[in-house]
Amino acid sequence: MDARREFRRLRHTAVPAPFVLPAAGTVLLVISAVAGSTHLPASVVIGLCAGAGALASAVGEPLAAVPIGLLSWMTATAFSAQPYGTLRLTGSVSEPAFVSCVAAAGLTATVGWTLRRRIADRRRTLDDMETLPAVPSFRGAVDRRRMTLGVALAVVVLPLLTTTLAAHRRHFSLTDDLLFYLSAVVAIAVVGGFWPAVTSAVLASLLLNWYFTPPLHTFTIGEADNLIALVLFVVVAISVSSVVHLAARRAQLAAHSNREANVLLELAKTALGTDDTPSAILRYLQDTLGVDVDLVELAGHTWVVIATSSAVRPTAEAGVVHRVQLRPDLQLAVRGATPSASRRLLEAAGGQLAAALDRDRFRMQASQAEALAAGNRMRTALLTAVSHDLRTPLASIKASVSSLRQTEVAFSPEDESAFLETIEESTDRLGALIANLLDMSRVQTGALQPYLQPAAVEEIAPVALRGLAGADDVTLDLPEDLPLILTDAGLLERVLANLLGNAIRWSPPGQAPVLVARHLGERVAIAVIDRGPGVAADERDRMFEPFQRLGDQDSTTGIGLGLAVARGFTEAIGGTLTATDTDGGGLTMTVLLPAAPATAAVEQSRS
């Protein structure tokens, strides 16, 4: 298999036979005309024909040496001695001419193939893609099936045509016979391509010589005109076959270019689409070319795989067949070879990969910069909160304790009770603020690890009201048939406590908040409804950000972390928290959580 691949690679670097054969035929016709008009010695004619055949065989592909050698031998035999134009298959001139012309063609074809091989070995580099041709080979313009049909057509048509023309010899001249055979050769070229047509042209010339040129039934040509006509027939037949073959090849190249353009279009769509990561482009190349491809980068002195089309990340050197250099520190590694792959496609994909890698890294840097900026904003807001909101309860505690410790002032029992109440309220507020700060830090760092299990809303809601001022006025509307919910009871309690505390603070006197729970299909909705001033629709997303107190000028009520913590905890337990308007005025905060499966609910009730 390696020898055949090497032969094909070297053959593609030679001049294709459809070019070199007509050129060699034209040169031999010129030599025959000069020899006939100037009466050149036989040795000179043989040397010129052998030299022309040798030169054409050296630059052409190896298979072309056979017809070139035969044409040069026929020309040397016919024009080496008078009468010119007579084909002599035997004699003192024919045998030396055969040895000289055929041997020269075969020898120079071998030398040319050897030189091309050495040159190709010297030019071979790491990114050589000889097994991945960018365009179809010249011979590949016609597939093997069409070549077989062409050979079958030649086997059927040439004998049938010869029999028909021989039976009606009196009605047709040699010129007519030549045109009939030329038409047959062209038809064979259309069906089977160049080589079946060349073989048919040679066979047709032999049939014409045997059956239609005097003396009949011999390969000797008695008249110069007939020899020239046969040689011209072969040259014209080969030339026409070359044109037909070239047309077929150009049609195949056009189809190949169209397919490659479509592939490049899809590649551009992939690179410019939403999923424009290097891995997505590599997967597209894998699906299109049928090979595994990796993007490797030079890190220090080692090549490292940074993106791959494979499910398992390989090492940088495992199974690499070819490399395409994208940048001095970036390569595209191809693991395997397929004829459908194109060098231009790989180079275009390499450019897209390099750009996608840069965009991916820019996005990562932008994300990191945004995270740092968010962290800086958080720290700034936290410092602002610590500098004011946390100092206030500490100052109240300090003042109350200092007053109680004074010995020169006698406070009444009512005053002492007021000081102690202030200390207690400030301590509770300080504890709540610190708890919210700690909870927010857990949300921001992703340190929450909820433990989800079936739980009852009617057991969690009363616990959430403990310690809230005005909790006795809150109404709980919890149906008896409410299913269990799948949640972390501790986190949900903190969510409801923050929502209820916020609702109590904003509710007007005489209109306490209401907590309502309803079963909605596979989910349970828990709504905290207040009759306060509400929040504008364009401000609702911002109120869930940390340190936001929309419309709240009283800094003694908190630092604006309650709703941020509530949403973070809700999302951590697999729910959602949304804000909507309350009918008649106010704000409704709805927590939507999944209902527990029936089997889990039964097990929970048994336990």
List the one residue out of 9, 278, 308, 329 whose CA is nearest residue 320.
308
pLDDT at 195 (0 to 100) = 82
Residue 486: strand, helix, or coil = strand
Q: Tell me the residue type at 409.
A: V
70-79, 143-152, 307-316: which range is least confident on average? 307-316
The C-alpha atoms of residue 500 and residue 485 are separated, in whole angstroms, by 19
The C-alpha atoms of residue 407 and residue 222 are separated, in whole angstroms, by 151
The C-alpha atoms of residue 396 and residue 376 are separated, in whole angstroms, by 30
Cβ pair 494, 565 in contact under 8 A: yes
Output the average pLDDT for the chain. 78
The C-alpha atoms of residue 108 and residue 61 are separated, in whole angstroms, by 11
149-153, 164-168, 265-269: which range is least confident on average? 265-269
Cβ pair 528, 500 in contact under 8 A: yes
Hey, what are 258's tokens? 């169209």
Q: What is the pTM of this model?
A: 0.42
The C-alpha atoms of residue 366 and residue 511 are separated, in whole angstroms, by 48
For residue range 578-587, list pLDDT tens digits in order: 999 998 889 9
pLDDT band per the 50, 70, 90 thresholds, residue 575: very high
The C-alpha atoms of residue 75 and residue 234 are separated, in whole angstroms, by 12
Q: Which residues pair with 323 in a beta bridge?
A: 333
Strand (E) positions, 196-338? Answer: 292-299, 302-308, 322-327, 330-335
> In which residue are the tokens 């496609």 written?
345
pLDDT band per the 50, 70, 90 thresholds, residue 129: very low
Instruction: Check pLDDT > 80 for residue 572.
Output: yes
Instruction: Check pLDDT > 80 for residue 400.
Output: yes
Hey, what are 458's tokens? 């009617």
Percentage of the chain modeled with pLDDT above 70: 77
3-state secondary structure 491-533: HHHHHHHHHHHHHHHHCCCCCCCEEEEEEECCEEEEEEECCCC
pLDDT band per the 50, 70, 90 thresholds, residue 119: confident
pLDDT at 132 (0 to 100) = 38
Instruction: Check pLDDT > 50 for residue 56.
Output: yes
List the one residue out of 57, 68, 69 whose CA is nearest residue 112.
57
List the one residue out of 564, 562, 593, 430 whose CA is nearest residue 499.
562
Is pLDDT larger for residue 47 or for residue 273?
A: 47
pLDDT at 497 (0 to 100) = 86
The C-alpha atoms of residue 143 and residue 456 are separated, in whole angstroms, by 75
The C-alpha atoms of residue 201 and residue 218 are separated, in whole angstroms, by 18
